[in-house]
């Protein structure tokens, strides 16, 4: 940590503050209690007017090589490693601190807290580039300060300070400076190792802005989902009804629509759609090359119209459209960017290399796409005349100067000389972006087209090689920054190598908790590894015993048969069932949630004859079996095909592969994962979508004739039956069970099913292949052969240390538009109301524990939580994880809690930088932590600000010990008070960790106030239940508070700030005596002054509205200084008087 480098900067900052203070009149001074966040909304703050771009100049720091632009009227002062800009609003300080980028977080902690005179009001973390913004002020000065610490991977850290001349800060100026910082460029810059980051031969990587995209990329949560386009022509837009009034052809391309009028030739429309797809997915891997760019286009409803230009008569489709949409949603919400005219533009169907002519689609479709690039990466591709970008800098050189409008005559040295006077600066930049990209693609190569020659009065750089020589800035921008820009000329033939459905993307949708199974709350096994023992009665369902005399328990699901069925057939079916449930034969079910569904449904697998089946159901009328036993499928001895020993050895088909699979899917997979394997048409599952494609359309029942394109043509049953059969066929194909080398089943099943091998499935039915292979489900991968041989045997209730877990998606409520940056969210009373309401939970707290945890301990926790909910209400959702000392289920519990967080968009949980957060990393980190617990305590994890799921959790260490000693209920109540507290404090943009020790304005207050009140109420309410000796515990706390006061001379004043906490740590290991024991008595003293209900329900619920100090004053009728004085005096009283105040 290079903190000494900051000292000169701090000195200059202080000097500037002194000057500012001297120039600030008393009338400009606000009340000191006005918060920084309140000032953001102040109507009295007057926005600073920035000069137009022609009045800007470029500053280059010759020592570091860093370049950025700023208004020319700013005065520049260079001091050692500091550059000061004097502006109308105040001062902007740039400080190159020469620290590696990966030390951003450590430096942020130290930099914003090292000066005792600096009071931080809020801190916010951003990305692209990674940076922190800290807002605060100096105690001795009136000025507001905004600090930015920015990390550039290819260079290092840079520090900026924005100091306002008045006490209030202007949010518009902050946004302006943020844009300026985002547009910082590097010219001949050396990184921390002394290597040039602009040297193409160096090994150091430039700024990596390309998304590392995977189908389930967690960076693409929320917004619109996409699927690999099939380029089908639709008759209407599915979401924007006002478009349907004018257009009659629509092609969905990754969520961006090509729209066309009825007169447009359909081959033209499809060609434009293919070009659009090739620009979005230029490497044709089935996924968008840059999700941020696509996001912008989809979110802003960009469309690409193909329509008539109207010839010479001016009666164009375009004019008619804009006249017609006045007053509709289309007028304000739909954006175009460019158009294709089927009767005026040049078209090269099949590509210009084949057609031998230019294709205007290459220009106009790119103009639409480039809007996403402008907005996603403004520092590189921005077209604004206000804030320069690398694109506009290159254009200014190409035009021979910086011209806001078209000059009368371009300089002789210009090679980009667009002269349309209606085209302003941003338009010029857009056209320039198109020209440089075309040259970079070699699309202007005279070998393909005469486009370059015919355009030489505007642009004459024809190839990538020429671009590198003539326009090196543009060439570098397009090739040296690892952007996923197009590298192949679109030819209108989009052929993706893979196809993804929209469910391949993680969607940010909230599913009602009632619609999915709850998370596994214990690692105990409610099943045992089957031993295939034959029993003569069902142990629980007696109504089965009158007909059946053979029973085999397979993981809790029974294969049943009459006594006259040969036992080898019954055993074969039972073994196939076991192999489907435990396909890897490790002795455990591959998916416990699926198994639980089957057991709960009382599914049985009969092996019988038609006659016995017909006699069975009438015999059980009026019994439990009539309404509660499910079969789903059956095996018929003497009627079905049997391959004892497996199809590979028997050389014939085995009907068990179908019928037993129907039991497992219909009673398990389809119910547990309805979004994926749901059988009903209403579920709109991935299975249903794949089947609809395989059948050539969605048919609720069997059509009169299937389309010729269909490869699944079942002629029996309604939609659920069709889905169930389809799932069987694709599973058999995926397993290789239909391979003609093993059996003739595939041949004899044509025309119902025509796909025989897994390779054919991937080619013919990619949606089904993806569903079975790309979602990490524990589906079978080995053909069952009726010889189940587990590698290990587990007994019922034995601890399972590696059970598979599929987590629950929790119900949430979104109060904030996800597209609004957190630092720009305006915290109104209505928003606070919504966020607090969203923190309420209809579901009780969940307790997660392992097999080794004593059930009495779990009951203690559940009872204490129920009491907490009764007292304070239900908040959350809240997950409570009970971990014992040397708990053998540490990693199972880690898997459970990590899955819950990651499934619900909280990837930060359990993450330890560097690197991106992953579920595996969370499990490793949390599991290791659990394994290392050596005693007792609890850690509370508050909800993420503004997140639609207000998820909280409490991790209890040594819960077995605390439970045995009787201390656990008090700990549980203490933590549930924290749950209640954090449900009331919903502000973002402030310090995120309780351990930071700073006092956040709209939070609980000082650490002692948060912890002390939690401990007091826990002790008090536990005493009401008889869970602890309230008076004795409070007396111990009092003695501890008196001890730290008499021995060290410390009081609550000493631990208000982080610096104070650090000094206490240096002096003694007695911080807990202040935060907890002394804080507990401070809370008791405040309760004595106001009342329990007033503290709980007047203080905490008002914190997010009024701030903690204002609320403290309103509720307790004391300023903080008055409180400290009176409480210190109280601590000097005799113990008897002190104990007398307890409620």
pLDDT, tens only, 311-347: 444 467 777 888 788 877 788 778 888 899 988 899 9
The pLDDT of residue 25 is above 50 = no
Residues 21 and 155 in one domain: yes
Q: Residue 852's pLDDT is what?
A: 84
The pLDDT of residue 4 is above 80 = no
Sorting pLDDT into bands at 50, 70 and 90, what band is 2? very low
The pLDDT of residue 571 is above 80 = yes
Residue 463 has a CB neighbour count (10 Å cut-off) of 18
Domain that includes residue 237, residue range: 212-353
* Average pLDDT of the segment spanning 714-739: 92
Residues 333 and 390 in one domain: no
* Average pLDDT of the segment spanning 441-465: 92
631-680 pLDDT tens trace: 888 999 988 999 999 999 888 999 999 999 999 998 889 888 888 898 88
169-181 pLDDT tens trace: 566 677 677 767 7
717: alpha, beta or left, given left = phi > 0 and alpha = psi -120 to 50?
A: left
Residues 174 and 219 in one domain: no
Largest CA distance in the chain: 104
Q: Residue 36's pLDDT is what?
A: 31
Q: Residue 87's pLDDT is what?
A: 79
* Average pLDDT of the segment spanning 998-1002: 60
Of 309, 320, 369, residue with least CA distance to 345: 309
Instruction: Evaluate whether 561 touches 837 at the Cβ level (below 8 Å).
Output: no
Q: Which of 318, 353, 388 corresponds to the end of one domain?
A: 353
Using a 10 angstrom Cβ sphere, with 0-12 exposed, 13-18 middle and 19 or more buried, the burial of residue 905 is buried
Please name the helix (run of DSSP H) or strand (run of DSSP E) that holds residue 304, with its range, or none. strand 303-307
Q: Residue 18's pLDDT is what?
A: 42
* Average pLDDT of the segment spanning 971-982: 95
* Mean pLDDT lowest among 12-16, 82-86, 622-626, 1082-1086: 12-16
Q: Which of 482, 513, 535 corresponds to the end of one domain?
A: 482
3-state SS, residue 1046: helix
β-sheet bridge partners, residue 553: 558
Sorting pLDDT into bands at 50, 70 and 90, what band is 986? confident
Sorting pLDDT into bands at 50, 70 and 90, what band is 154? low
Q: Residue 64's pLDDT is what?
A: 61
Instruction: Evaluate whether 893 touches 887 at the Cβ level (below 8 Å).
Output: yes
Domain count, the chain: 6
DSSP string, 883-936: E-TT-TTHHHHHHHHHHHHHHTT-TTTT--SSS---HHHHHHHHHHHHHT--S-
Residues 180 and 329 in one domain: no
Place of tokens 């069987």: 728
Q: Residue 209's pLDDT is what?
A: 30
Q: Residue 755's pLDDT is what?
A: 94
* Mean pLDDT lowest among 69-73, 189-193, 556-560, 1015-1019: 189-193
* Average pLDDT of the segment spanning 896-916: 85
What's the mean pLDDT when you consider all of the chain?
A: 80
Quick check: is 745 in a domain? no
Quick check: is 762 in a domain? no
Quick check: is 608 in a domain? yes
Sorting pLDDT into bands at 50, 70 and 90, what band is 81? low
Highest-confidence segment of 158-172, 284-298, 868-882: 868-882
The pLDDT of residue 464 is above 50 = yes
Of 784, 771, 736, residue with least CA distance to 756: 736
The pLDDT of residue 988 is above 60 = yes
Alpha carbon distance, N-terminus to C-terminus of the chain: 50
Quick check: is 92 in a domain? yes
Compute CA 1008 distance to the chain's CA centroid, rounded to the nearest angstrom.
Answer: 34
- What share of the chain in percent tops pLDDT 70? 80
857-868 pLDDT tens trace: 999 999 999 999
Residues 72 and 178 in one domain: yes
Helices (H) and strands (E) counted in the chain, each on its own, are 45, 24
The more confidently predicted of residues 323 and 1039 is: 1039
Q: Residue 397's pLDDT is what?
A: 93
Quick check: is 503 in a domain? no
The pLDDT of residue 521 is above 60 = no
Residues 929 and 892 in one domain: yes
Sorting pLDDT into bands at 50, 70 and 90, what band is 764? very high
523-548 pLDDT tens trace: 334 578 888 999 999 988 989 998 99
Residues 809 and 915 in one domain: yes
Residues 284 and 344 in one domain: yes
Residues 665 and 628 in one domain: yes
Sorting pLDDT into bands at 50, 70 and 90, what band is 188? very low
Buried b (16+ CB within 10 A) or exposed e, 976-1002: bbbbbbbbbbbbbbbbbebebbbbbbb
The more confidently predicted of residues 1099 and 171 is: 1099
Which residues have a Cβ under 8 Å from the Cβ of 324 and sit 6 or more positions away? Answer: 245, 246
The more confidently predicted of residues 1 and 74 is: 74
The more confidently predicted of residues 896 and 973 is: 973
Of 184, 131, 187, 205, residue with least CA distance to 382: 184
The pLDDT of residue 401 is above 50 = yes
* Average pLDDT of the segment spanning 153-159: 71
Sorting pLDDT into bands at 50, 70 and 90, what band is 96? low
Sorting pLDDT into bands at 50, 70 and 90, what band is 797? very low
1102: alpha, beta or left, given left = phi > 0 and alpha = psi -120 to 50?
A: alpha
Quick check: is 34 in a domain? yes
Q: Residue 513's pLDDT is what?
A: 28
Q: In what order do the strands lie in the sheet with 604-608?
A: 534-535, 550-554, 557-561, 604-608, 635-636
Quick check: is 106 in a domain? yes
The more confidently predicted of residues 1056 and 683 is: 1056
Sorting pLDDT into bands at 50, 70 and 90, what band is 552? very high
Instruction: Evaluate whether 1028 touches 1019 at the Cβ level (below 8 Å).
Output: yes
* Mean pLDDT lowest among 18-27, 587-596, 911-920, 1086-1095: 18-27
- Give the dihedral sign, CA 139/140/143/147: negative
Highest-confidence segment of 24-33, 165-174, 837-846: 837-846
* Average pLDDT of the segment spanning 622-638: 87
Calculated CA dihedral for residues 510, 513, 517, 520, nearest 10 degrees: 100
Q: Residue 359's pLDDT is what?
A: 94
* Average pLDDT of the segment spanning 936-961: 91
Residues 174 and 228 in one domain: no
Global pTM reads 0.39
* Mean pLDDT lowest among 11-20, 417-426, 695-704, 980-989: 11-20
- Give the dihedral sign, CA 640/646/650/653: positive
* Mean pLDDT lowest among 155-159, 471-475, 754-758: 155-159
The pLDDT of residue 491 is above 70 = yes
Quick check: is 835 in a domain? yes
Residues 119 and 158 in one domain: yes
1103-1134 pLDDT tens trace: 888 888 899 999 999 999 999 999 999 999 99
Residues 224 and 335 in one domain: yes
* Average pLDDT of the segment spanning 84-107: 75
Sorting pLDDT into bands at 50, 70 and 90, what band is 404? confident
């Amino acid at each position: 940590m290079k903190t000494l480098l900051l000292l000169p900067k701090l000195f200059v900052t202080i000097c500037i503050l002194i000057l500012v203070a001297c120039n600030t009149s008393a009338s400009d001074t606000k009340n000191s209690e006005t918060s920084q966040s309140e000032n953001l909304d102040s109507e009295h703050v007057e926005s600073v007017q920035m000069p137009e771009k022609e009045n800007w100049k470029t500053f280059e720091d010759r020592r570091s090589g860093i370049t950025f632009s700023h208004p020319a009227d700013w005065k520049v002062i260079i001091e050692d490693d500091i550059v000061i800009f004097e502006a109308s609003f105040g001062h902007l300080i740039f400080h190159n601190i020469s620290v590696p980028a990966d030390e951003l977080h450590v430096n942020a902690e130290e930099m914003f807290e090292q000066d005792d005179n600096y009071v931080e009001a809020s801190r916010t973390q951003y990305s692209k580039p990674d940076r922190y913004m800290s807002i605060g002020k100096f105690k001795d000065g009136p000025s507001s300060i905004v600090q930015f610490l920015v990390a550039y991977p290819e260079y290092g850290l840079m520090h900026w300070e924005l100091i306002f001349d008045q006490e209030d800060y202007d949010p518009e100026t902050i946004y302006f400076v943020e844009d300026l910082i985002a547009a910082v460029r590097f010219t001949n810059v050396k990184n921390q190792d002394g290597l040039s980051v602009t040297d193409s031969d160096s090994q150091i990587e430039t700024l990596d802005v390309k998304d590392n995209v995977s189908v389930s990329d967690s960076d693409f949560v929320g917004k619109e989902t996409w699927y690999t386009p099939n380029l089908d022509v639709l008759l209407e837009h599915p979401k924007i009804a006002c478009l349907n009034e004018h257009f009659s052809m629509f092609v969905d391309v990754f969520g961006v629509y090509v729209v066309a009028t009825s007169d447009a030739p359909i081959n033209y429309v499809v060609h434009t759609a293919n070009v659009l797809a090739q620009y979005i997915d230029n490497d044709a891997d089935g996924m968008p090359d840059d999700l941020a760019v696509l996001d912008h286009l989809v979110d802003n409803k960009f469309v690409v119209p193909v329509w008539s230009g109207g010839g010479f008569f001016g009666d164009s489709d375009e004019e008619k459209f804009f006249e017609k949409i006045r007053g509709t949603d289309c007028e304000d919400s739909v954006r175009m960017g460019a158009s294709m005219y089927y009767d005026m533009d040049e078209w090269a169907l099949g590509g210009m290399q084949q057609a031998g002519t230019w294709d205007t689609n290459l220009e106009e479709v790119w103009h639409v796409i480039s809007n996403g690039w402008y907005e996603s990466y403004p520092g590189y591709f921005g077209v604004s005349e206000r804030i320069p970008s690398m694109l506009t800098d290159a254009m200014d050189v190409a035009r021979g100067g910086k011209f806001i409008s078209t000059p009368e005559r371009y300089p002789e040295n210009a090679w980009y000389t667009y002269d349309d006077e209606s085209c302003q600066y941003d338009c010029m930049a857009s056209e320039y972006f198109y020209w440089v990209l075309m040259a970079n693609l070699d699309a202007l190569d005279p070998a393909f087209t005469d486009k370059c020659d015919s355009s030489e009065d505007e642009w004459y750089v024809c190839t990538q090689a020429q671009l590198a020589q003539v326009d090196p800035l543009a060439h570098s921008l397009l090739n040296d920054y690892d952007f996923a820009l197009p590298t192949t000329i679109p030819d209108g033939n989009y052929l993706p190598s893979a196809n993804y459905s929209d469910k391949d993307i993680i969607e940010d949708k909230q599913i009602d908790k009632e619609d999915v199974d709850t998370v596994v709350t214990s690692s105990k096994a409610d099943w045992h590894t089957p031993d295939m023992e034959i029993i003569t009665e069902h142990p629980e369902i007696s109504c089965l015993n009158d007909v059946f005399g053979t029973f085999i328990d397979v993981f809790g699901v029974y294969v049943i048969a009459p006594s006259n069925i040969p036992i080898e057939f019954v055993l074969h079916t039972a073994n196939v069932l076991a192999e489907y449930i435990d396909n890897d034969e490790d002795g455990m079910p591959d998916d416990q949630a699926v198994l639980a569904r089957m057991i709960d449904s009382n599914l049985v697998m009969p092996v019988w004859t038609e006659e016995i089946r017909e006699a069975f159901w009438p015999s059980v009328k009026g019994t439990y079996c009539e309404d509660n036993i499910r079969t789903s499928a059956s095996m018929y001895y003497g009627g079905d095909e049997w391959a004892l020993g497996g199809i590979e050895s028997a050389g014939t088909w085995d009907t068990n592969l179908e019928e037993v699979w129907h039991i497992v899917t219909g009673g398990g997979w389809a119910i547990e994962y309805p979004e994926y394997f749901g059988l009903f048409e209403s579920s709109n599952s991935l299975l249903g979508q794949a089947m609809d494609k395989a059948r050539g359309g969605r048919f609720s029942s069997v059509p009169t004739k299937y389309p010729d394109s269909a490869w699944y043509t079942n002629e029996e049953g309604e939609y659920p039956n069709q889905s169930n059969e389809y799932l069987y066929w694709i599973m058999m194909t995926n397993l290789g069970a239909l391979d003609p080398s093993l059996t003739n089943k595939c041949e004899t099943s044509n025309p119902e099913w025509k796909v025989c091998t897994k390779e054919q499935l991937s080619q013919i039915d990619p949606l089904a292949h993806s569903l079975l292979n790309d979602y990490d489900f524990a589906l079978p991968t080995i053909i069952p052969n009726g010889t189940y041989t587990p590698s290990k045997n587990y007994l019922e209730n034995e601890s399972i240390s590696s059970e598979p877990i599929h987590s629950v998606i929790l119900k949430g409520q979104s109060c904030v538009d996800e597209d609004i940056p957190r630092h720009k969210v305006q915290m109104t009373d209505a928003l606070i109301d919504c966020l607090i309401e969203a923190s309420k939970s209809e579901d009780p707290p969940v307790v997660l524990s392992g097999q080794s945890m004593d059930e009495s301990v779990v009951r203690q926790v559940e009872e204490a939580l129920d009491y907490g909910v009764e007292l304070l209400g239900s908040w959350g959702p809240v997950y409570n994880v009970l971990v014992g000392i040397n708990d053998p289920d540490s990693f199972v519990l880690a898997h459970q809690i990590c899955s819950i967080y990651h499934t619900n968009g909280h990837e930060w949980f359990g993450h330890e930088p560097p690197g991106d957060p992953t579920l595996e990393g969370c499990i490793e980190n949390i599991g290791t932590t659990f394994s290392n617990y050596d005693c007792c305590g609890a850690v509370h994890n508050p909800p993420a600000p503004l997140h639609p799921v207000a998820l909280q959790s409490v991790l209890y260490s040594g819960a077995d010990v605390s439970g045995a000693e009787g201390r656990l209920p008090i700990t549980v109540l203490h933590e549930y008070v924290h749950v209640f507290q954090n449900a009331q404090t919903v502000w973002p943009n402030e310090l995120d960790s309780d351990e930071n020790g700073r006092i956040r304005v709209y939070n609980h207050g000082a650490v002692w106030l948060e912890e002390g009140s939690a401990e007091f109420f826990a002790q008090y309410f536990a005493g009401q239940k008889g869970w602890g000796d309230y008076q004795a515990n409070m007396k111990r706390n009092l003695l501890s508070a008196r001890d730290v006061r008499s021995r060290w001379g410390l009081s609550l004043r000493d631990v208000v700030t982080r610096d104070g906490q650090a000094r206490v740590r240096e002096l003694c290991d007695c911080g807990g005596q202040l935060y907890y024991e002394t804080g507990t008595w401070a809370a008791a003293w405040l309760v004595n002054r106001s009342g329990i209900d007033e503290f709980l329900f007047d203080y905490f619920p008002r914190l997010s509205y009024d701030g903690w100090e204002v609320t403290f004053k309103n509720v307790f009728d004391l300023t903080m200084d008055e409180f400290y004085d009176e409480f210190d005096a109280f601590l000097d009283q005799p113990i008897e008087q002190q104990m007398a105040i307890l409620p």
